[in-house]
C-alpha cells in the first residue's frame, strides 16, 4: 500500500474521533485562554500531556493555584485507568520498534478503542496504529489551537457535536460484541458501570468501573484455571 493510501485508510478510521476531538479540543483551548493561560501553554499541553479530562483538570487546578504535588497526584489518579489499557496491549505492541514509545504516549480512551477494534489481521500493523495515534492527536491539537486562537469569535453552532464520541463508543462496542460473541465482558461492564454510577462520585467513576471489571476478570481467570476438567499443566 502506498504511503498516501495508508494515511487515507488511517484518516477514514479516525474520522469519528475527529468529530469529537475538534470541538472538545476547541472547548479546552477556549477554557485555557479564559482562565488566563497563554496560547502557547494551551498548545503545549495538547502536545505533551494529550489527555482530554486530564487537561481540563490541569487548567482548573492551575486557576485554583494548586501546588505541583497536588497537580501530579490528581493527574495520576484521574488517568490511572490507562494502566489497564496497557495491560491488554502488552503483546500487541511487541515488536513495534521505534514507534512503540509514541504508541504508548498516545493511548487515549478513543485511540485505545479504535486500536482494539481493528480486524484481527490488522492487529500487528504497527504502522497503521502509529498513523491512527498521530492523526487523533493531530485533531486534538488542531482543535485546541483553534479554540485558543479564535474560539470566542466562532459563529458556528456546534452544540451537541461532542456526541460523536459517544456514538463512536457505541459502534465500537457493537463491533466488539460481533467479534467476541460472548456475553461475559458486557455483563461485567454493566455490573461495574452501573455499580460505579450509583456508588461513586463522577470523578472516580471510570477508574472504579474499569478497576472493578479488571478484578472480576482476574477472578474469572482463576476460576477458569482451576475448574475441574479444564486442568492446565
Partner 1 sequence: MSHATLLTFIVVCALATFATRVIPFLALSRQAEHPLILHLGRYLPPTVMMILVIYALRDFRPLAEGQLNAGANGWPMILASLVVVLLHLWRRNALVSILGGTGAYMAMVQLGWAP
Nearer residue to partner 1 within complex by CB, 105 or 154 = 105
Place of cell 489527555: 51
Nearer residue to partner 1 within complex by CB, 30 or 114 = 114
Nearer residue to partner 1 within complex by CB, 70 or 127 = 70
- Between 132 and 171, how does the x/- string for binding to partner 1 read (CB under 8 A)? -------------------------xxxxx-xxxxxxxxx
Q: How far is the CB of 39 from partner 1 (least distance, A)?
A: 12
**Contact status: 1 vs partner 1 (CB under 8 A):** no
The single residue among 113, 136, 137, 144 that binds partner 1, judged by CB under 8 A, is 113
The single residue among 6, 142, 149, 205 that binds partner 1, judged by CB under 8 A, is 205
| 143 alpha carbon, distance to own chain's centre | 16
**Contact status: 210 vs partner 1 (CB under 8 A):** yes
Nearer residue to partner 1 within complex by CB, 127 or 166 = 166
**Contact status: 190 vs partner 1 (CB under 8 A):** yes
Q: How far is the CB of 151 from partner 1 (least distance, A)?
A: 19
Residues that bind partner 1 (rule: CB under 8 A) add up to a total of 92
H helices within 151-200, ranges in order?
163-180, 184-199
Q: How far is the CB of 33 from partner 1 (least distance, A)?
A: 13
**Contact status: 88 vs partner 1 (CB under 8 A):** yes
Place of cell 461532542: 162
Nearer residue to partner 1 within complex by CB, 1 or 60 = 60
Q: How far is the CB of 167 from partner 1 (least distance, A)?
A: 4
Window contacting partner 1 (CB under 8 A); options: 1-9, 74-82, 129-137, 142-150: 74-82
Euclidean distance between CA atoms 99 and 6, whole angstroms: 16
Which among 212, 108, 80 is positioned nearest to 165, based on CA atoms?
A: 108
CB atoms within 10 A of CB 69: 8
Which among 130, 124, 125, 128 is positioned nearest to 99, based on CA atoms?
A: 130
**DSSP H or E segment with residue 47:** helix 39-48
Q: Are 197 and 205 in contact (CB under 8 A)?
A: yes
**Distance spanning both ends of the chain, measured CA to CA:** 44
CB atoms within 10 A of CB 128: 18
Three-state DSSP at 90 gives coil
Euclidean distance between CA atoms 201 and 197, whole angstroms: 8
The single residue among 87, 150, 223, 227 that binds partner 1, judged by CB under 8 A, is 87
Q: How far is the CB of 205 from partner 1 (least distance, A)?
A: 6
What does the radius of gyration of the chain's CA atoms come to, in whole angstroms?
19
Amino acid at each position: 500500500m502506498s504511503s498516501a493510501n495508508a494515511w487515507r485508510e488511517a484518516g477514514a478510521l479516525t474520522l469519528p474521533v475527529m468529530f469529537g476531538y475538534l470541538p472538545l479540543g476547541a472547548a479546552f483551548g477556549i477554557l485555557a485562554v479564559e482562565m488566563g493561560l497563554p496560547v502557547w501553554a494551551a498548545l503545549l499541553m495538547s502536545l505533551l500531556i494529550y489527555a482530554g479530562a486530564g487537561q481540563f483538570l490541569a487548567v482548573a487546578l492551575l486557576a485554583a493555584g494548586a501546588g505541583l504535588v497536588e497537580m501530579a497526584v490528581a493527574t495520576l489518579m484521574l488517568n490511572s485507568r490507562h494502566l489497564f489499557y496497557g495491560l491488554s496491549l502488552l503483546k500487541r505492541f511487541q515488536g513495534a520498534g521505534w514507534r512503540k514509545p509514541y504508541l504508548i504516549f498516545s493511548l487515549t480512551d478513543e485511540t485505545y478503542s479504535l486500536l482494539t477494534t481493528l480486524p484481527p489481521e490488522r492487529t500487528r500493523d504497527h504502522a497503521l496504529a502509529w498513523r491512527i495515534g498521530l492523526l487523533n492527536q493531530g485533531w486534538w491539537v488542531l482543535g485546541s489551537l483553534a479554540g485558543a486562537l479564535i474560539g470566542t469569535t466562532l459563529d458556528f453552532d456546534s452544540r451537541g457535536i461532542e456526541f460523536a464520541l459517544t456514538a463512536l463508543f457505541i459502534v465500537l462496542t457493537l463491533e466488539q460484541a460481533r467479534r467476541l460473541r460472548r456475553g461475559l465482558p458486557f455483563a461485567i461492564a454493566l455490573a461495574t458501570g452501573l455499580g460505579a454510577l450509583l456508588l461513586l462520585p463522577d470523578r472516580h467513576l471510570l477508574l472504579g468501573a474499569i478497576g472493578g471489571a479488571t478484578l472480576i476478570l482476574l477472578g474469572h481467570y482463576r476460576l477458569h484455571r482451576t475448574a475441574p476438567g479444564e486442568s492446565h499443566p
